[in-house]
């Protein structure tokens, strides 16, 4: 049996930031506490602490494929592209298996068991297919991964420093980054849509929490920098969401080349059509509509798959916020060296 590797250092989060989380996230009112993980101080509920060491000590296999992102960076979009490229563009199989069944999500248990108590009172009403999908959402990823057969497809919103230390030397990793301004808009809407933890404040407050690294899994740019620093490693493919938007066929070809897969221009064009936002939004095998049957989604909020837009942040930032953001981003880019793509 392999020896357990020591996981990143864990410390208690500050009282002020913990209080703000409890006030503005409805299902965190009774959370016993929050923690900061590793040198960067990634923020999590204390209920996630027992799972941190389990994840850090996962047995990584050479046949594993990891998609790693900060939430709302184009994760599901990338998952669908990668899975289809590695499964000979088997659209029929992709349609028959929901994305949560094709990928094991490492870190779904970040809210501990509180999320189960919130949504399972209607579980008995689910049909067999939706219950199967629901189980993939609430069961800790380590349990699902242990039972998964090769080749395993794995998704994680955790930073690389919280994943197994031999990951990059053992398996293929696709990391997707996104402009912080568009990401925070998308994360704001997602946090209002999902019943756990359910953000109840306004956008400006959310933006300030994000800037101050007081949203779960923050700091975002430290998360990105860990992968950015490894972007030239042969087992790492670092992408930006904006690259997928600006040149989807070319970026899909880059992904295919990374996995040593070859497809014709016609096949690439067909995949582009499949993952076009208008089709993607209506694709039941990548949406999470089944969660509405267990009160997991809040009615009236923007959907899980929104606009797939670059530059949409301009509709949310007033002049003061825009100037503040420009200063903040200039400082962070200088600190991290991350070169975000520019766009009109």
Residue 108 has pLDDT above 80, yes or no: no
**Beta strand pairing status for 42-45 and 65-69?**
unpaired
| Predicted pLDDT of residue 29 | 79
Residue ranges and CATH numbers for the domains of the chain are: 58-336 (3.40.50.300)
**Residue-level pLDDT at 115:** 40
Find the mean pLDDT for residues 176-182.
96
pLDDT in tens, 268-311: 999 999 999 888 888 888 877 767 656 677 777 676 677 778 88
Distance of CA 96 to the CA centre of its chain: 23
**Average pLDDT estimate for 197-215:** 92
Q: What is the mean pLDDT of residues 45-57?
A: 91
In this prediction, residues 96-122 reach a mean pLDDT of 69
Query: Do 192 and 298 form a contact (C-beta atoms < 8 A)?
Result: yes
The edge-to-edge listing of strands for the beta sheet with 236-240 is: 104-106, 153-156, 65-69, 172-177, 236-240
Provide the token pair at 299. Answer: 């009615």
Q: In this predicted structure, what is the pLDDT of residue 329?
A: 92
Distance of CA 323 to the CA centre of its chain: 28
Which candidate, 138, 139, 156, 159, places its Cα nearest to that of 147? 139
Which residue reads 């420093």 in tokens?
161
Strands 153-156 and 65-69, sheet pairing = parallel
Q: How far apart are CA 293 and CA 276, in angstroms?
A: 27
Q: How confident is the model at residue 202 (pLDDT cuts 50, 70, 90)?
A: very high
- In this prediction, residue 119 carries a pLDDT of 45
As a three-state string, the secondary structure of 37-50 is ECCCCEEEEHHHHH
Provide the whole-model pTM.
Answer: 0.91
Strand order in the sheet with 42-45: 10-12, 34-37, 42-45
Alpha carbon 306 to its chain's center: 15
Bridge partner residues of 11 (DSSP):
36
3-state helix, strand, coil in the chain (%, to 5): 50, 10, 35
What pLDDT does residue 344 have? 63
């Amino acid at each position: 049996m392999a020896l357990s590797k020591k996981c990143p250092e864990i410390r208690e989060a500050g009282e002020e930031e913990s209080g703000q989380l409890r006030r503005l996230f409805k299902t965190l009112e009774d959370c016993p506490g929050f923690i900061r993980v590793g040198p960067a101080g990634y923020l999590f509920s204390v209920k996630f602490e027992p799972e941190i060491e389990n994840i850090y000590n996962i047995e990584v296999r050479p046949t594993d494929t990891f998609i790693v992102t900060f939430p709302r960076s184009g994760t599901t979009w990338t998952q669908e592209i990668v899975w289809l490229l590695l499964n000979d563009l088997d659209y029929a199989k992709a349609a028959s298996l929901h994305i949560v069944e094709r990928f094991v999500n490492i870190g779904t248990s970040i809210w501990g068991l509180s999320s189960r108590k919130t949504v399972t009172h209607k579980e008995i009403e689910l049909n067999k297919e939706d219950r199967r999908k629901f189980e993939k959402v609430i069961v800790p990823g380590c349990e699902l991964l242990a039972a998964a057969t090769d080749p395993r497809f794995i998704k994680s919103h955790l930073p690389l420093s919280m994943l197994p230390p031999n990951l990059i030397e053992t398996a293929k990793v696709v990391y997707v980054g996104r402009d912080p301004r568009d990401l925070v808009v998308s994360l704001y809407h997602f946090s209002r849509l999902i019943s756990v933890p359910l953000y109840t404040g306004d956008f400006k407050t959310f933006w300030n929490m994000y800037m101050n690294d007081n949203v779960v899994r923050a700091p975002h740019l430290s998360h990105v920098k860990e992968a950015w620093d490894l972007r030239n490693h042969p087992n790492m493919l670092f992408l930006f969401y904006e690259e997928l938007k600006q040149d989807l066929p070319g970026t899909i070809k880059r992904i295919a080349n990374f996995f040593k897969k070859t497809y014709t221009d016609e096949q690439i064009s067909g995949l582009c059509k499949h993952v076009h936002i208008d089709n993607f939004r209506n694709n039941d095998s990548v949406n999470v509509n089944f969660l509405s049957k267990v009160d997991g989604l809040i009615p009236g909020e923007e959907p899980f798959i929104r606009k797939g837009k670059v530059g949409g942040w301009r509709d949310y930032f007033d002049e003061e916020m825009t100037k503040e953001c420009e200063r903040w981003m200039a400082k962070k880019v200088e600190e991290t060296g991350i070169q975000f793509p520019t766009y009109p």
